[in-house]
């Protein structure tokens, strides 16, 4: 990826011809730009950060720097990109499966802590959309590594039937300033001054609209409606999900004194489906998903919660100041566990009261 080319070569086309892009033009990785990113990673270009499935290619700092430059990243984004890739390569996340599944899932990255503002990440208006260099290029660098190092090329090792636009870039920051709750990473035991990355195998955001409710229950009933379908993987395979409250909805909920646990408990309690609906009333024969509770098969009207517990609902506040919109983001199912990791490995991690399995500072949620 750092081969010499003859003078006058159209570098954008040269990289297209070699299949090193995600379908969009890339920034030519000049030695000067690559060296700047390697320095931001701590030097030593041959240092192996991790191996990326399903091809299990070696991600050295040099290779990571090349992909970051091609994505358009600035050197100061390097710690976030590295932390995200280390989180993705945790065994529990199962990037091998996420890369190869026929489902639409792809990694969603949410950044918390001071580094998000320091590098200019967007947590506000159009948070999942275009217009912000840090969000766009950090997510794109992750995708380029998954392609060029992990080998997750569509039609080859990537077997996704449909995919979704997040497979270009899917990175955001939590809007901590607009949130009535403690930041997500603080809820999980980190200090406010720590910076963290959260990775989750995600479908696209499902918009939740409620312009009328002036109480938490009304807003969250709309969210429960979005959660309670049989058309997304979480409903039929459990696992985890993400709920993103827009600032207006969050403010309405917060002024009533509700905290994160109140919200998650309400959503868990009042979302779900009858087992009979998930099994199509057995009109296609007896259907039972072994990942759902065993007791449900005895009662077709038994309620199956969307996820096993409130702690499997990961709640963030993000988005612009105007508009009473939120989002529900289903996951891939029980096959992948989200990972929360500090950007700086020396950061103080969550205490034992969090009850998460932690390895090298990463919490498997």
The confidence band for 200, taking pLDDT boundaries of 50, 70 and 90, is: very high
Query: Is 165 in contact with 143 (CB distance < 8 Å)?
Result: no
Q: What mean pLDDT comes out for the span 76-88?
A: 98
Taking Cα atoms as reference points, which of 197, 206, 61 lies closest to residue 139? 197
Residue 310: band (very low, low, confident or very high) from pLDDT cuts 50, 70, 90: very high
**pLDDT over threshold 70, residue 166:** yes
90, 49 Cβ separation under 8 angstroms: no
Over the chain, what is the mean pLDDT? 93
Count of positions (residues) in the chain: 365
pLDDT above 90 covers what percent of the chain?
83
Beta-carbon neighbour count of residue 222 at 10 Å? 19
Q: What is the structure's pLDDT at 362? A: 75
Task: Give the global pTM.
Answer: 0.94
Please report which confidence band the pLDDT of residue 355 belongs to, taking 50, 70 and 90 as the band edges: very low
What is the average pLDDT across 110-121? Answer: 98
What does the pLDDT read at residue 279?
86
Instruction: Specify the pLDDT at position 173.
Output: 98
Q: Which residue has the tokens 């802590």?
A: 113
Rounded to an integer, the average pLDDT of 297-311 is 88
* Higher-scoring residue by pLDDT: 294, 189: 189
CA 205 to each of CA 10, 24, 232, 325: distance values in angstroms, whole numbers, following the listed order: 37, 23, 12, 11
Mean pLDDT of 310-323: 97
* Predicted confidence (pLDDT) at residue 338 exceeds the cutoff of 50: yes
Average pLDDT score over residue span 311-316: 98
- Asked whether 231 and 203 are in contact (CB, 8 A), the reply is no
CB 110: neighbour CB atoms within 10 A?
29
Cβ burial, residue 330 (10 Å; 0-12/13-18/19+): buried
Q: Write down the pLDDT at residue 353.
A: 34
């Amino acid at each position: 990826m750092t081969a010499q080319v003859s003078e006058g070569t159209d570098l954008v086309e040269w990289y297209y011809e070699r299949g090193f892009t995600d379908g969009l033009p890339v920034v030519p990785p000049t030695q000067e730009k690559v060296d700047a990113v390697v320095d931001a990673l701590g030097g030593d270009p041959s240092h192996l950060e991790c191996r990326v499935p399903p091809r299990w290619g070696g991600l050295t700092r040099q290779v990571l720097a090349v992909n970051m430059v091609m994505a358009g990243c600035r050197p100061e984004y390097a710690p976030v990109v590295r932390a995200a890739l280390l989180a993705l390569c945790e065994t529990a996340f199962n990037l091998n499966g996420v890369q190869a599944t026929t489902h639409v899932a792809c990694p969603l990255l949410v950044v918390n802590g001071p580094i998000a503002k320091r590098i200019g990440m967007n947590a506000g208006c159009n948070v999942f959309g275009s217009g912000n260099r840090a969000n766009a290029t950090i997510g794109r660098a992750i995708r380029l590594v998954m392609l060029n190092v992990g080998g997750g090329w569509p039609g080859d090792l990537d077997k996704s039937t449909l995919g979704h636009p997040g497979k270009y870039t899917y990175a955001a920051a939590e809007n901590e300033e607009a949130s009535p709750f403690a930041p997500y990473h603080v809820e999980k035991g980190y200090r406010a001054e720590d910076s963290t990355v959260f990775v989750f195998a995600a479908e696209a955001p499902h918009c939740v609209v409620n312009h009328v409710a002036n109480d938490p229950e009304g807003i969250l009933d709309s969210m429960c409606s979005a959660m309670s379908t049989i058309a997304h993987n979480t409903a039929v395979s459990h696992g985890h999900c993400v709920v993103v409250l827009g600032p207006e909805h969050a403010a309405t909920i917060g002024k009533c004194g509700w905290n994160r646990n109140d919200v998650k408990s309400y959503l868990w309690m009042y979302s779900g489906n009858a087992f009979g609906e998930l099994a199509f009333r057995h009109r296609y024969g007896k259907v039972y998903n072994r990942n759902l509770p065993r007791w449900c098969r005895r009662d077709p009207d038994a309620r199956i919660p969307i996820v096993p517990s409130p702690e499997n609902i990961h709640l963030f506040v993000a988005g612009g100041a105007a508009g009473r919109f939120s989002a529900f983001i289903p996951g891939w199912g029980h096959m992948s566990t989200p990972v929360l990791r500090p950007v700086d490995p020396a950061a103080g991690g969550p205490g034992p009261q969090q009850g998460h399995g932690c390895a090298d500072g990463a919490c498997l949620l």
